[in-house]
Chains A and B, each alone.
Chain A
Amino acid sequence: MELLLQQTVNALSLGGVYAMLALGLAIVFSIVRLINFAHGEIMTFGGYGIFLSLVFGFPPVAALIIGLAAAVVMALAMERTAFRAMRGADVVSLLITSFAVSEILKVLFQNGISARPVPITFPASWSGTYQVGDITFGVVPTVSILVTLAALAGLTFLLRRTVSGMAMRAAAEDIEMLRLLGIRANRVVAVAFALSGLLAGIAAVIWTAQRGSVDPMMGFFPVLKAFIATVLGGLGSLGGAVLGGFAIGIVEVLAQAFLPETLAPYRDAIVLAAVIAALLWRPDGLLPAAKTSRS
Chain B
Amino acid sequence: MENALEIRNLDIRYGAVQAVRDVSLTVNAGKVTALLGANGAGKTTTVMAVAGARKIAAGSVSIFGKDMTGAPEDAIVRSGVAISPEGRRVFASLSVEENLTLAGSVLGDSALMAERRSAMMERFPILSERRTQPAGLLSGGEQQMLAVARALMSMPKLLLMDEPSLGLAPQMVDQIFAIVEELRNEGISILLVEQNAALSLEVADHAVVLANGEVAAEGLPEDLKNNSLLHAAYLAA
Interface residues of chain A, those whose CB is within 8 Å of chain B, are 163, 166-167, 169-170, 173-174, 176-184, 290, 292-295
Contact = CB atoms under 8 A, between A and B. Distances in A.
A61 B83 CA distance: 50
Contacts of B88: 295
Given A182-B106, A183-B106, A163 B91 contact: no
B92 to A, nearest CB: 6
Interface stretch (B24-32, B70-78, B117-125, B176-184): B70-78
Contact of B89 (A167, A174, A183): A174
Identify which of B51, B74, B91 gathers the most chain A CB atoms within 10 Å of its CB: B91
Contacts of A177: 85, 89, 91
Q: Which 9 A-B pairs have the closest CB atoms?
A: A182-B77, A182-B106, A179-B73, A170-B91, A182-B74, A177-B89, A295-B87, A163-B105, A166-B102
Contact of B102 (A170, A184, A290, A293): A170
Interface string B212-225: 00000000000000
B92 A173 contact: yes
Given A173-B92, A182-B76, 12 more contacts: A163-B102, A163-B105, A167-B102, A169-B93, A169-B94, A177-B85, A178-B102, A181-B82, A181-B150, A182-B73, A182-B154, A292-B93
Dominant SS among interface residues on chain A: helix
Contact of A181 (B87, B92, B93, B154): B154
Interface in B50-105: 51-53, 72-74, 76-78, 82-83, 85, 87-89, 91-94, 98, 101-103, 105
B93 A290 contact: yes
Given A180-B53, A182-B154, A294 B74 contact: no
Interface residues of B, number: 27
A200 to B, nearest CB: 25
B53 to A, nearest CB: 6
Interface string B156-198: 0000000000000000000000000000000000000000000
B63 to A, nearest CB: 13
A229 to B, nearest CB: 22
B6 to A, nearest CB: 21
Contacts of A181: 77, 82, 102-103, 106, 150, 154
A133 B52 CA distance: 66
Nearest to B134: A290
Nearest to A292: B92
Contacts of B89: 174, 177, 294
Nearest to B75: A182
A173 B83 contact: no
A177 B146 CA distance: 14
Contacts of B102: 163, 166-167, 170, 178, 181, 183
Nearest to B113: A163
Nearest to A160: B98
